[in-house]
Structure 1
Amino acid sequence: MTHAMLHRLAPWRTAPRWHVALSGGLDSTVLLHQLATLARTDTFPPLHAIHVHHGLQAAADAWPQHCQRLCDALGVPLTVVRVQVAPGASLEAAARTARYQAFEQALGAGEVLLTGQHRDDQAETLLFRLLRGAGVRGLAAMPEQRALGVGHLVRPLLHISRTQLQAYAQAHHLDWVDDPSNTDTRFARNYLRQDVMPLITGRWPQAAQTLARAASHMAEAQGLLAELAEGDLRAAATPGAFPWLNVPSLELAPLVALSDARQRNALQHWLAGFTRLPDTQHWASWPELRDAAPSATPVWALGDGRLLRAGGRLWWLSELWRAEPQGQVHWPMPAQPLDLPGNGQVRLCGLAPQGRVQVRYRQGGEVMHTPGRGRRDLKRLLNETGLPPFVRGRLPLLFVDGQLTAVANLPAIGGNGVDLRWLPPTNAQRLR
């Protein structure tokens, strides 16, 4: 068991720090004890433990103290993080979300979070997802490693059985806590663990190992699908006409040229960086967006944002794009950059205009004087540029003494020598 774990940890030996997700249960207790013991004779990154307290049951109030005693005995520093679990349909999912948010916030650049999921957990995950009708990505179950914030999540025990962990704990006289909720078979995973898996292993003793191996095969298949998706996306990842937007987008035509299955595969791969992926039923909205009339501006609402079609491209907008800025911002010193509440920053290139300077947003009916064309409606001018509609309500407009003088990042509209540069907010895209 030790050799297998060290083999899987070898690529992470140069990380700045290893964090162990310590629940106090069997799995994480064995993981921490083994690492702390090996660190006495081996060269590891600094070791640190994190205990997340969800506050969902009275029994859990004693677990931070238990974890502290264990860490004190092993000489490992411990951080206890208390989280609030959002109410919802699935308490398990909400607790997991809160837990991993806490882990992500704790990780520094390049640091590694080590968790104690083992082979039996992997088998249960595969079975659970199979019963939910998951595709290849879901049936790959838990990856051995993945990105987590600015660090990495690594599961070094995925090839080790629960029986092996119990044997290690007993041999080293370890104490661990048992979560009372683990026996509540109203939770799907507990039902699989307590009632279903014993029946399966009673008939097929190697079922956990076999199911974990099937998950590994699925992970390999998913890797091949990812390679195919990356090739398909290269053709669609052409630069748009407005690179300053810095909004993820794809050219639609190369995607439409693919088969339906390859379209879904490419989009799943691309969207995975931004949002929770849609289920099978939700994918019915993709053809509606794809096949809408060219003049339409269809929207596909997803878990963490929206996919829009405009100007022959697909655009990903996070939830932060929903609230458009309102009102006006006075600019008393236009020679200096101006921060816009919730909307990035603007600055003027060249000489600052004289007069009362303000930044406003579209309300409708704005007109602008254009050299050689006279007064023109702003809506018509923006239509001529092809600027996607979703940007227009957020686009800063420069007013001098009440007159519309410049439109951010579109100096050709005014043609009067005033160049307003806009840097959209960096958090307008929330990458997962």
Structure 2
Amino acid sequence: MNDLYVDVARQLDELKPARLVIAFSGGIDSRVLLHLIARYRQHNAIPCLAVHVHHGLSDHADEWASQCQLWGAKEGIEVCVEYVTLDHDCGDSLEQMARDARYAVLAKHIDTETLMLLGQHADDQVETFLLALKRGSGPKGLSSMAACGGFAQGQLLRPLLKVTRAEIEAYAQQVQLTWVEDESNQDTRFDRNFLRHQVTPVLTQRWPSFYQAIQRSAELCATQESVLAELLQEKLQQAMHADGSLVLDALYSSSELARGQLVRLWLQHQQILMPSRKHTELILREIAFAQPDANPKLKLGKYEIRRFQQRLYCIETEKDFSSWHATLNINEPVMLPESLGCLRLIASEQGNVRLPANKAPFTISFDPSGLSACPIGRSGSRKLKKLYQEYNVPSWQRRQLPIVLCEDKVVAVVGLFISREFNGKDCELIWDKSEVFMANS
């Protein structure tokens, strides 16, 4: 069983990480991984943290969290417990929600110098491959889990990926480890458990080398996908605009087979879940090749695929702030909703906004409905809808631009223009954005 430690130590030595984070569920695979890393740290002074995610799905969740912290103390590795709440009404599968929540909190602990360690093993790889096969996946899906890759700002490693569950159990018993037994792992209503208990035992009994064959197929699919990406990389770079959108002319000039692969590579570059074949076809047919005057969109998980000015955009699902309002006073910052930042009206002799003579208050809105304005340098008012079109603001951003009003008159659309009627030097509007706002002005 010392071979297991030697192999894990070899993988870590090759990567030379500055810091380790272990995804620690307390199950047998992550419990063995914790023990192996504790052995590794006896010979290598490397900071290490174990993260246990408390989903609250089991009546034993609190007990497991406490037990994981005790095991961590025994091994000399700090265990951080992260609590997450799952939205049972969102329509996603429980497995998917738990997985997404787990990776989201793990990402918080990963920086550019950190290697995250996952305890997934050969049995998990077989199950992942079979689930991808069940979905009708191509090479990308069938490549299953990579032993090493990028995660958040750092890297991840699955050092046990070629080790079977039986070998892990043998090691745990030899060194007298205890671990969490999650009762949900016996529930064959979950696809992965069904494969684990009723399918793979039959396959391996018939074909003892089935695991190795799956591993080879996954590696071959990963190689094929890498070659495709390499061959199309130059074309993808030429097709991508500076703001991350995809120029449609590049799709139009490509073969039908290459178009789908370019779209998938582009979405992979956006770091979102790969679309199915059906979704890829919908993106091409209903978004990229829609009528020129259409304003199409396709929901893809929490994202939307949109088209604007002959480019494809992948954006987070549009949020409507039409009902949000606030008063804007001089030198009193206003926090805008969600991640839209902070708006300030600063008294300044070098400003660009005139205060009204009647001292009427300024307010902030995001609803352009029925509003008109005449920007500085223009003659005559136009509806904001028309002005947004002139300023090349994509439709999904139009209700995320703060509008400053004074008695129902538009003072400014922040980031676009000041109204001629309010042109002056009493104060300055400053929009501090917490995130880069993808305006195409």
TM-score (norm 2): 0.83
Q: In the TM superposition, what is the alpha-carbon distance from 1:411 to its structure 2 partner?
A: 4.6
Q: Which residue of 2 aligns with 1:275?
A: 272
Q: In the TM superposition, what is the alpha-carbon distance from 1:27 to its structure 2 partner?
A: 1.4
Q: Identity over the aligned pairs, expressed in percent? A: 33
Q: In the TM superposition, what is the alpha-carbon distance from 1:182 to its structure 2 partner?
A: 2.3
Q: In the TM superposition, what is the alpha-carbon distance from 1:370 to its structure 2 partner?
A: 5.6
Q: In the TM superposition, what is the alpha-carbon distance from 1:51 to its structure 2 partner?
A: 2.4
Change in Cα spacing, 1:91 to 1:38, as seen in structure 2 (3 Å) is same
Q: Which residue of 2 aligns with 1:243?
A: none
Determine if contact 2:302/2:316 at 8 Å carries over to the other structure.
Answer: yes
Partner of 1:219, secondary structure, is: helix
Q: In the TM superposition, what is the alpha-carbon distance from 1:372 to its structure 2 partner?
A: 6.4
What is the RMSD computed on CA atoms of the aligned residues? Answer: 3.1
Q: Which residue of 2 aligns with 1:354?
A: 354
Q: In the TM superposition, what is the alpha-carbon distance from 1:156 to its structure 2 partner?
A: 1.0
Give CA-to-partner distance per residue, 1:333-370, whole Å, 9 cap, x none: 27x87653443345689424331455444222413166
Distance 2:55 2:166 in 1: 27
Q: Which residue of 1 aligns with 2:359?
A: none
Amino acid at match of 2:105: A
Matching of residues 388-407 of structure 1 within 5 Å: 388-399=394-405, 403-407=409-413
Q: Which residue of 1 aligns with 2:93?
A: 90
Q: In the TM superposition, what is the alpha-carbon distance from 1:3 to its structure 2 partner?
A: 2.9
Q: In the TM superposition, what is the alpha-carbon distance from 1:117 to its structure 2 partner?
A: 0.9
Q: Which residue of 1 aligns with 2:29?
A: 27
Distance 2:81 2:324 in 1: 43
Change in Cα spacing, 1:400 to 1:174, as seen in structure 2 (3 Å) is closer
How many corresponding residue pairs? 418
Distance 2:195 2:375 in 1: 70
Distance 2:190 2:292 in 1: 47
Give CA-to-partner distance per residue, 1:120-175, whole Å, 9 cap, x none: 22122112211221121111111223333334332111122223323322332222
Q: Which residue of 1 aligns with 2:246?
A: 250
Change in Cα spacing, 1:78 to 1:391, as seen in structure 2 (3 Å) is closer
Task: Please tell me whether residue 236 in structure 1 is matched to residue 233 in structure 2.
Answer: no
Amino acid at match of 1:18: L
Determine if contact 1:369/1:376 at 8 Å carries over to the other structure.
Answer: no
Q: 2:373 aligns with which of 367, 374, 377?
A: 367
Change in Cα spacing, 1:313 to 1:345, as seen in structure 2 (3 Å) is farther
Q: Which residue of 2 aligns with 1:47?
A: 48
Determine if contact 1:339/1:346 at 8 Å carries over to the other structure.
Answer: yes
Partner of 1:281, secondary structure, is: helix
Q: 2:293 aligns with which of 276, 295, 299?
A: 295
Matching of residues 32-431 of structure 1 within 5 Å: 32-40=34-42, 42-87=43-88, 88=91, 90-239=93-242, 248-272=244-268, 273-286=270-283, 287-319=285-317, 321-326=318-323, 328-333=325-330, 339-342=335-338, 343-346=340-343, 350-356=350-356, 357-361=362-366, 362-368=368-374, 371=377, 373-399=379-405, 403-411=409-417, 422=431, 425-426=434-435
Distance 1:22 1:163 in 2: 19
Distance 2:236 2:307 in 1: 16
Determine if contact 1:398/1:420 at 8 Å carries over to the other structure.
Answer: no
Give CA-to-partner distance per residue, 1:257-287, whole Å, 9 cap, x none: 2123322222222223353333233334221
Distance 1:407 1:54 in 2: 43
Amino acid at match of 1:39: R
Distance 1:386 1:71 in 2: 55
Determine if contact 1:123/1:209 at 8 Å carries over to the other structure.
Answer: no
Q: In the TM superposition, what is the alpha-carbon distance from 1:116 to its structure 2 partner?
A: 0.9
Q: Which moved more, 1:277-286 or 1:295-304?
A: 277-286
Q: Which moved more, 1:212-221 or 1:59-68?
A: 59-68
Distance 2:83 2:302 in 1: 25
Q: Which moved more, 1:146-155 or 1:395-404?
A: 395-404
Determine if contact 1:107/1:150 at 8 Å carries over to the other structure.
Answer: yes
Distance 2:55 2:187 in 1: 17
Change in Cα spacing, 1:370 to 1:225, as seen in structure 2 (3 Å) is same
Q: In the TM superposition, what is the alpha-carbon distance from 1:300 to its structure 2 partner?
A: 1.4
Amino acid at match of 2:393: L
Q: In the TM superposition, what is the alpha-carbon distance from 1:75 to its structure 2 partner?
A: 2.0
Determine if contact 1:355/1:401 at 8 Å carries over to the other structure.
Answer: no
Change in Cα spacing, 1:351 to 1:98, as seen in structure 2 (3 Å) is closer
Determine if contact 2:23/2:30 at 8 Å carries over to the other structure.
Answer: yes
Partner of 1:225, secondary structure, is: helix
Change in Cα spacing, 1:175 to 1:395, as seen in structure 2 (3 Å) is closer
Change in Cα spacing, 1:190 to 1:417, as seen in structure 2 (3 Å) is same
